[in-house]
Structure 1
């Protein structure tokens, strides 16, 4: 459930915060008051692109924050699988937009937008103003079916996807394998040259790193030897050296240390320094004795590195990649050397993969067709509740010309709204108002099959009125019994059915237009219904009609609850 919404510096909203309730939350307001900004803000929090004009003029940043309360154990587990931990069963999604950039957070932890979308899909389903138009796009129908049947389809679709990946790769290899004799001979010649070039180098793992370290030393060898010799000269050779000076100082202290404990400590410290310096001199002398700068070695190392770097430019950025490339080229040579056998084996493997893909596609199709019968019947019943009195609704299946990662099904919803008329596609028969109700029916069925707790409808009432509007309001009420519903509407019949009613209104403050949102009490809700019924002038009769509408809605909700 979406517990609260906090918006700051977006469009007409300076700052607004609203606490939402379970059941049916209705939002109303005058045209242009900013109703669409509320849904737009939620969409922004959930990862939608932010239009530049959404940030208020002279504002340093824009912010949207959503707080969810999660009760479903299934959703909690799914969130845990995304490595999202709840705090007292609460989850906070926020998005801050600064200078064209945005920062998304879940429970104060910065996350990518993709993770926000994954979490949001488990918590909330938003039906925008024009989403019902997506029903006119046939390819969306099978997605609706697959979402409805996802539990039954999950394992089979994963196997189907894997089978399609193998099939696609073998198909591509087969297409590339159909080359003529002269092309194969040219490829064999070129591959042989490349393999010989790599094998002649006799590469060893880690060789390049060792050579680069050695080369680095050799390039600076003379400088290194001069510096080391200079250090040895200053510490070990001659009367002026550090060794001789310390030895002299030590003799001086030794002659008097028996008379003063502090001088004895100094003598001990200096003696330790003398020992360390002697050890250092011995090791440095050994290093100088063993180290020489050899021009021939330098040339050999440089030439070897040139060979390796040349191979890197052609076959890979590391020795491991070059060796792998050589192995792949040798495998390709083996195939080309016995091409007829290779091609026959490839054709057989492709045929086997196609057969396997056909079998998985058939299994998926069978599950879909069975689920489609259940889905369309459930939608048909919902449509009857939405004033489609003699409706028939089904799903028509055809086979695509080629395989896809989704199988071979091409499916489309079909509807007839009058007795005796044949079913036709939604595109040919449904008006805007009918599409809104069909989408509401689909959402009602999907919500029952899903654990998503919050459904948002932005003007689902497009193109309807009268008795149909009343039936839509009753459907909204029914949905609100098991889900949190947030609905923006301009129809009083739907607004009257609210469990919580919110008013979005526009005002001018300090010569700046702002939108605000606030909850209405019973009397305020009746006044808002009267505005929706009567327009600018609210008469006593209109107010009575609004009060009666609210009472009738309460009685309807009560009777529907008792029936349930």
Structure 2
């Protein structure tokens, strides 16, 4: 559950730090005070796109930090994502937004948006102000039914998704073979030309590098011989002034005095070593220059070979390995062209096989959905009666689509009748905004029982309702909060009275600027806020007595729920 919200420099919020507990948490406040602070903060922490204008005027950054305490099941799933809990299974999600960038972290480690959204999806479920309108779109009805039946549907949906991906890939491959005979023959001719051109070159990996070294050596052989001959003359023994001859003379002279001092003997040994190196190097240079001959025909042969290789590189790849890989790829394509009919038949067979698998999986999915639909429609009907739908008939209509998708062939549509004797009709054509809010709450209350997400956030789920209906909505929220932490942003006194924890969102003047603050209310303060919500805020004895009665009645209702 969410145990702490810390917000800094966010819109009108200078800094807010709020602790939360279990049960039903209600946030109220004047219109425009910033009641959607919590929902906005969570959406920011989710990694959703946000305007830089969200940063408080005069501040360099905005910060949202949410701290959750999770159960062992959730902690185990997070560990599988290499996200490890702090002591007490605590996880902190933060997002810092500046003019140039935003940085998201989980337990102090930077994460990307995909990881962030996946983690937050395990921690909190958000019902925004207009989410009930999603019920107007039939495509969402299938998702709701599948979520209700997720224990039975999970593996089948995975199988459908994987097989549908395979099916579409096969269809794409088949379409790539859609060429006429004349084009096929042109492709064969051109592919054969390319394969033969590479094959006839008899390329050897690394050959080009070796040839380039040989070419560089042979094409500069005259300069090499001339220079090495000069070096040989300088260090050799053919001249009285050459280094070798002078070193040899030095060794003879130092030998005559080497017995007088051990250190002089060391000098002698060093000179002998130098003389030996000089003789060896002179011999190697002599052998090298003796073997090196300029052969115009060999230079021409190497040059032509390099031209051939470089020509192939321009056409097929930067290296010989690239060229050979291109040859293999082109040979495979040529084999397919030469066995065109067989390949098409093979792919068509695989498509038929994949379609049959999709059919089987879709039938299994449909059977599960139809069973689950009967249970869900009865449960939703009961839940709607709890929400003051006096006479309601709710049905889930499942029909078969012409085509199979990654979710099967079922088309799911919610149908409803709210008047006795009236037939059920599509939800979008019957329900009003207030009714849609209650229907969504009924669905959420049922899905919550199947859901492992502990924190549920409702932003003005009470839109368009009042009176007895509002009391019944409040009771439904209290029921959900028995097993989940429920955070509700509301403008109804019935819901505020039902709160286990009541917070007030208000605007204050601080340092000649407006700031939004969030304050936890005592029971007495909560009663005063209920008076404000009920009327104009005048603290008459009757208004206070009515608010106290609402709190007492809510306490009795919650006691009976337990």
TM-score (norm 1): 0.86
Partner of 2:13: 13
Partner of 2:127: 127
Is 1:383 matched up with 2:387? Answer: no
Give the match's secondary structure for 1:57. coil
- How far apart are the structure 2 equivalents of 1:164 and 1:479? 37
Q: 2:505, 2:516 within 8 Å by CA — same for their partners in 1? A: yes
Partner of 2:199: 199
- How far apart are the structure 2 equivalents of 1:304 and 1:136? 68
- How far apart are the structure 1 equivalents of 2:406 and 2:349? 21
Compute the displacement of 1:510 (Å): 2.1
Is 1:432 matched up with 2:429? Answer: no
Partner of 2:502: 501
Compute the displacement of 1:198 (Å): 3.7
- How far apart are the structure 2 equivalents of 1:231 and 1:38? 87
Partner of 2:46: 46
- How far apart are the structure 2 equivalents of 1:265 and 1:151? 93
The change in CA–CA distance for 1:301 and 1:531 in structure 2 (over 3 A counts) is: farther
Q: 1:65, 1:93 within 8 Å by CA — same for their partners in 2? A: yes
Q: 1:201, 1:307 within 8 Å by CA — same for their partners in 2? A: no
After TM superposition, the structure 1 = structure 2 runs for residues 483-522 of structure 1, keeping only pairs within 5 Å, are 483-522=484-523
Q: 1:496, 1:553 within 8 Å by CA — same for their partners in 2? A: yes
Q: 1:492, 1:532 within 8 Å by CA — same for their partners in 2? A: yes
Is 1:163 matched up with 2:163? Answer: yes
Point out the more displaced range, 534-543 or 35-44: 534-543
The change in CA–CA distance for 1:292 and 1:484 in structure 2 (over 3 A counts) is: farther
After TM superposition, the structure 1 = structure 2 runs for residues 408-487 of structure 1, keeping only pairs within 5 Å, are 408-487=409-488
Partner of 1:79: 78
Point out the more displaced range, 195-204 or 46-55: 195-204
Give the match's secondary structure for 1:125. strand
Give the match's secondary structure for 1:143. helix
Q: 1:192, 1:333 within 8 Å by CA — same for their partners in 2? A: no
The change in CA–CA distance for 1:513 and 1:330 in structure 2 (over 3 A counts) is: same
Compute the displacement of 1:408 (Å): 1.2
- How far apart are the structure 1 equivalents of 2:114 and 2:279? 61
Point out the more displaced range, 297-306 or 471-480: 297-306
Q: Deviations over 1:64-121 (max 9, x none)?
A: 11111111x3222221222211112111111111224111111111111100111111
The change in CA–CA distance for 1:270 and 1:201 in structure 2 (over 3 A counts) is: same
Q: Deviations over 1:43-75 (max 9, x none)?
A: 11111101222112222111111111111x322
Q: 2:166, 2:354 within 8 Å by CA — same for their partners in 1? A: yes
After TM superposition, the structure 1 = structure 2 runs for residues 40-439 of structure 1, keeping only pairs within 5 Å, are 40-71=40-71, 73-88=72-87, 89-204=89-204, 206-207=205-206, 211-212=208-209, 215=212, 295-296=299-300, 299-300=303-304, 302-312=306-316, 318-319=322-323, 321-336=325-340, 339=341, 341-439=342-440
The change in CA–CA distance for 1:552 and 1:309 in structure 2 (over 3 A counts) is: same
Gaps of at least 5 residues in structure 2 are none
Gaps of at least 5 residues in structure 1 are none
Compute the displacement of 1:419 (Å): 2.6
Give the match's secondary structure for 2:503. strand
Compute the displacement of 1:439 (Å): 0.9
The change in CA–CA distance for 1:433 and 1:222 in structure 2 (over 3 A counts) is: farther
Compute the displacement of 1:403 (Å): 1.9
The change in CA–CA distance for 1:554 and 1:222 in structure 2 (over 3 A counts) is: farther
The change in CA–CA distance for 1:276 and 1:166 in structure 2 (over 3 A counts) is: farther
Q: Which has the larger radius of gyration?
A: 2
- How far apart are the structure 2 equivalents of 1:133 and 1:269? 99
Q: Deviations over 1:300-352 (max 9, x none)?
A: 4532441331333599993464144223312322223xx3x444444443333
Q: Deviations over 1:103-145 (max 9, x none)?
A: 1111111111100111111111011111111110110111112
Compute the displacement of 1:476 (Å): 0.9
- How far apart are the structure 1 equivalents of 2:334 and 2:394? 60
Partner of 2:26: 26
- How far apart are the structure 2 equivalents of 1:47 and 1:171? 36
Q: 1:228, 1:288 within 8 Å by CA — same for their partners in 2? A: no
Q: Deviations over 1:241-292 (max 9, x none)?
A: 69977996999799689868xx699969978996997799589859966888
Q: Deviations over 1:494-547 (max 9, x none)?
A: 011111111111112222211111211222111111111122433332222222
Q: Deviations over 1:10-50 (max 9, x none)?
A: 11111111111111111111111111233111111111101
Q: 1:436, 1:461 within 8 Å by CA — same for their partners in 2? A: yes
The change in CA–CA distance for 1:310 and 1:466 in structure 2 (over 3 A counts) is: same
The change in CA–CA distance for 1:489 and 1:257 in structure 2 (over 3 A counts) is: farther
- How far apart are the structure 1 equivalents of 2:47 and 2:252? 75
The change in CA–CA distance for 1:357 and 1:546 in structure 2 (over 3 A counts) is: same
Compute the displacement of 1:9 (Å): 1.4
Q: 1:377, 1:393 within 8 Å by CA — same for their partners in 2? A: yes
The change in CA–CA distance for 1:291 and 1:422 in structure 2 (over 3 A counts) is: farther
- How far apart are the structure 2 equivalents of 1:26 and 1:254? 109
Number of residue pairs matched? 552
Point out the more displaced range, 179-188 or 15-24: 179-188
The change in CA–CA distance for 1:325 and 1:542 in structure 2 (over 3 A counts) is: same
Give the match's secondary structure for 1:35. coil
Q: 1:243, 1:278 within 8 Å by CA — same for their partners in 2? A: no
Compute the displacement of 1:195 (Å): 3.1
